[in-house]
Amino acid sequence: MTATPPTEPPLTAATPPRGTPPAALLFTPQFIARTDSPIGRLELTATDRGVASLSIERAGMLPHDDLAEHRNRLLDDAVQQLAEYFAGDRTEFTVPLDVSGTPFQRDIWHQLSLLGWGEALSYGELGLAAGRPGSGRAVGGAVGANPVPILVGCHRVLASNRRLTGYSAGNGLPTKIWLLDHERIEHHA
Query: Which residues are catalytically annotated?
Result: 154
Q: What is the DSSP letter of 42?
A: E
Tell me the chain's radius of gyration from C-alpha atoms: 15
DSSP secondary structure string for all residues of 98-150: -----HHHHHHHHHHHTPPTT--EEHHHHHHHTT-TT-HHHHHHHHHT-SSTT
Task: Specify the DSSP element, H or E, that contains 45.
Answer: strand 42-46
